[in-house]
Structure 1
Amino acid sequence: MRADLQPRTSPRRALAQVEAFVRQAVPYEWDWVTWGAADYLPTLSEMLALRPVREDCDGRAVAAASMLQKLGYDARLVTDLKHVWVWTPQGETMGPGGRKFVESDQRGTRLNWAALTATPANLAYGIAAFPWTRELIVLLTFWLLLLRRAPRWPWALLGLAVLLDGWLIFRLACRNPWPAGLWDSVGALLGWGHVAAAVLIILGTGERRRSRFPHP
């Protein structure tokens, strides 16, 4: 790769060439397929040990940042909690995402708390992208754990229906991997609203306590 970059190669062209090389050399694959985990940030050596080499946006960003650092660039990993890409003073590469929440380099990690406003939509995307069969198991387990002793089943089932409705909203309305637009934000708010309502309904389904005082 270094041989492909001439001494007078512009930073913009260098960033583009590194991105093109990484995208070709590292096919995209979800972490739950590659590592068996919902999300995993590998080291470069871990990624290169894979056969075949494959990774999602964070692993590709690690590879691109490592290459750019070898070429003399101040390359940093940044994320908006939905996507991971590479920042340099000369520009960004690996598909720049939305407002940066985390910036990481050899000097440490910095947080931009103002970017948390996009968190509901970004977390909703994670739910939308994860395998639905595994999520359904997690959702049903979550529902069972919320149930109180001797629940009132009509209300418990209503809570489950509302919870499923919120989950479907996430999966249908929040699948956009790029910076959240109006539809993503509205879908995320509706989805989280359904989840909150479902939790309140389910928690209110427990057996009513009898009053210690007799009714007149």
Structure 2
Amino acid sequence: MTRPPFDARLPFRQSPGARKAVSLTVRLAASLALLVVSLFPNLPRLVEQFPRILHPERLVDPHFPGSDRALEQLQAELAGLPQDATLKSRVKAVEAFVKKHVSYETDWNLFYGNLHDWPTPAEVWQRKSDDCDGIAILSASLLQRLGVDATLEYNAFHCWTKIRQSQLSVGGAVKGPTSSREDGSVDWLSLAQDLFKARTWTEGLSFPIWRLVLSALAVPIPWLVLRPRRLAKRLEPQTLKKRDPLPGVPRASSSAR
């Protein structure tokens, strides 16, 4: 008895609906994988980010490694303030201190191409450069070390330090709805809504154009190139004996003309 072709024995080859479902799933998975790699080529660093993305407020640490040295330098600069200095004066002094020691740099230049990254305050202080979220995390950590109740506040394109129980902030607060809760944790519904606003994408125009083009091409490529049915056909094992075209009909001799 002749065995059916290899691809015919595969489950997704049994019905047109199943074939379409598998083809759609394979292409969607391939598009998503290419998109992630194009936006976050430093995959080990991306894996580290998962718990930080879920709880960025936990990155604020007043006793981060190296904080003692940072506090010594900060207190030396705060020594010029009067004894009765207001909270606003102290907050502004911390903001000036962070700007003096930490230069602004985009995540994709710091982390081998990754579009976004949540750093620890120790990483920011050691590297002396980061973007708005790193500056906000370090500022909040130092303010908490000084006894100021500070946390993170952010939306889809910017992050800053918020001083609770006051209208003060560090890092240029953005007016309007935010994507963070009062304690600094993520408000996922607000973040999803913020992603569909025009300002979110206009702020992202500093991302390299060639990276944007590459990311845009990552989505249609699998739909143009990947053919699951052709792949299954190529995987079909070559039989040594060809099947008869019609049962009961003798095969023509190779010498026949």
TM-score, normalised to structure 2's length?
Answer: 0.50
Q: Which residue of 1 aligns with 2:179?
A: 101
Paired amino acid for 1:144: I
Q: CA, structure 1 residues 115+44, in 2 after alignment: closer, same or farther (shift >3 Å)?
A: closer
Aligned positions, number = 146
Q: Distance in 2 between matches of 1:122 and 1:147?
A: 32
- In structure 1, runs of 5+ residues without a counterpart are 151-216
Q: Assess if the C-alpha contact under 8 Å between 1:104 and 1:110 holds in 2.
A: no
1:43-88 C-alpha deviation (Å, 9 max, x unpaired): 11122232xx110000000111011101111100110111000111
Q: Of the candidates 104, 108, 113, which is equivalent to residue 32 of structure 1?
A: 108
- In structure 2, runs of 5+ residues without a counterpart are 1-73, 228-257
1:181-214 C-alpha deviation (Å, 9 max, x unpaired): xxxxxxxxxxxxxxxxxxxxxxxxxxxxxxxxxx
Q: CA, structure 1 residues 75+149, in 2 after alignment: closer, same or farther (shift >3 Å)?
A: closer
Paired amino acid for 1:94: G
Q: How does 1:63-212 map to 2 (within 5 A)?
A: 63-88=138-163, 89-90=165-166, 91-98=168-175, 99-103=177-181, 105=183, 109-111=185-187, 113=189, 117-120=193-196, 121-125=198-202, 127-147=204-224
Q: Distance in 2 between matches of 1:23 and 1:60?
A: 8
TM-score, normalised to structure 1's length?
Answer: 0.59
Q: CA, structure 1 residues 45+149, in 2 after alignment: closer, same or farther (shift >3 Å)?
A: closer
Structure scoring higher RCO (CA < 8 A, sep ≥ 6) equals 2
Q: CA deviation at 1:92?
A: 1.4
Q: Of the candidates 72, 93, 103, which is equivalent to residue 17 of structure 1?
A: 93
- Taking only aligned residues, the RMSD between alpha carbons, in angstroms, comes to 2.5
Q: CA, structure 1 residues 149+80, in 2 after alignment: closer, same or farther (shift >3 Å)?
A: closer
Paired amino acid for 2:169: E
Q: Distance in 1 between matches of 2:202 and 2:122?
A: 29
Q: Distance in 1 between matches of 2:106 and 2:135?
A: 11
Q: Assess if the C-alpha contact under 8 Å between 1:79 and 1:103 holds in 2.
A: no
Q: Secondary structure at the match of 1:87?
A: strand
